[in-house]
Amino acid sequence: MKIILIDDEPPAIRLLLQMLQKIAPNAVILATCSNLKEGITAIHGLQPDLVFLDVEMPQQKGIKIAEFFDGDLPFQLIFVTGHQEYAVEAFGLNATDYLLKPLTEEKLIAALRKAEQKKMLQNLETKVFPHPGGLTKSVKKILLPVANGFEIISPESINFLKAEGSYTVIYFTDKKTLMASKNLKYFEQMLSGSSFLRVHRSYLANLDKARKILNEGGTELLFENGARVPIALERVEKIMAVLLRG
């Protein structure tokens, strides 16, 4: 695994280097950086698999790293910090782990294990869906990436999917829900060619499960189990055409 370390404290960098050399001798340390700007330059140039990042640094906080990338971060991220108050924000960036100082070998071993598992799952995901739009109506099962692995489900058990930032909430016909660690565009591409259609900026609907198009103060799609989702006006014609085509 290729790694970059970003921390403004030289002793912290030295400690992390020593620990990594001991417990992960096969890891390749591409660079060590003392501030976020330097780290961003190294990341773009060296393309690491994993970045260890401090939060509180001069000029810019490490938690602002997502502002320098479009979409999902193209690497795994492990925060190493003495400030626990940024944990929620860090996991909102889909961080692999959030380690509080003082750093110990036990914490680092557990974090690296998570990173290896996540990398393995990402590789599996790439093999399963190497190209967008890989599904057709004949596909019986799909893998939903979640925080700790994959859920194996049937597309026909889904009513609709709702965007929640960089995540997606899956709403099933039995009224259960599931949070998936991918954005809605990912699922729109994966499910293209099937009965799923983007009916609103925040919703992807399974039209096979729709029962009515309602116009009661706002246009909505009504599902067999009573659930409703809004329909963008500019999408109504497309939805009706797909429903009529069957």
Encode pLDDT of 63-87 as tens digits: 999 889 987 789 999 999 988 888 8
What confidence score (pLDDT) does residue 31 get? 97
How many of the other CB atoms lie within 10 Å of CB of 239? 20
Q: How deeply is 24 buried, as exposed, middle or buried, from its count of CB atoms within 10 A (0-12, 13-18, 19+)?
A: middle
Q: In what order do the strands lie in the sheet with 97-100?
A: 28-33, 2-6, 50-53, 76-81, 97-100
Return the structure tokens found at 8.
């403004």
Summarize the confidence of residues 174-186 as an average pLDDT: 88
C-beta of residue 174 within 8 angstroms of C-beta of residue 232? no
89 and 195 fall within a common domain: no
8 and 124 fall within a common domain: yes
In this model, does residue 133 exceed pLDDT 90?
A: no
Query: For 226-235, b where at least 16 C-beta lie within 10 A, e where not — what string?
Result: ebebebeeeb
Reported confidence tier of residue 93, pLDDT bands at 50, 70, 90: confident
74 and 165 fall within a common domain: no
Cα–Cα nearest to 76, from 115, 109, 107, 39: 115
121 and 158 fall within a common domain: no
What confidence score (pLDDT) does residue 131 get? 45
Quick check: is 136 in a domain?
no
Quick check: is 133 in a domain?
no
% of the chain exceeding 90 in pLDDT: 52
Domain CATH code at residue 239: 2.40.50.1020
State which of 128, 157, 178 marks the end of a domain: 128
122 and 146 fall within a common domain: no
204 and 121 fall within a common domain: no
157 and 104 fall within a common domain: no
Domain count, the chain: 2
Return the structure tokens found at 160.
């609709």
Cα–Cα nearest to 137, from 24, 18, 245, 14: 245
54 and 111 fall within a common domain: yes
For 200-210, the pLDDT digits (tens) are: 999 999 999 99
Report the C-alpha gap between 205 and 198 in whole angstroms. Answer: 6
State which of 98, 128, 158 marks the end of a domain: 128
What confidence score (pLDDT) does residue 125 get? 59
Length of the chain: 246
Domain CATH code at residue 95: 3.40.50.2300
The tally of CA atoms less than 13 A away on the side-chain side of residue 24 is 21
11 and 120 fall within a common domain: yes
For 203-230, the pLDDT digits (tens) are: 999 999 999 998 877 899 999 999 999 9
State which of 80, 100, 128 marks the end of a domain: 128
Quick check: is 119 in a domain?
yes
Quick check: is 137 in a domain?
no
Quick check: is 134 in a domain?
no
Quick check: is 135 in a domain?
no
Reported confidence tier of residue 146, pLDDT bands at 50, 70, 90: low
190 and 162 fall within a common domain: yes
Owning domain of residue 230 = 142-245
Which runs of consecutive H residues, i.e. helices, occur in 9-141? Answer: 10-23, 36-46, 87-92, 105-128
Quick check: is 68 in a domain?
yes
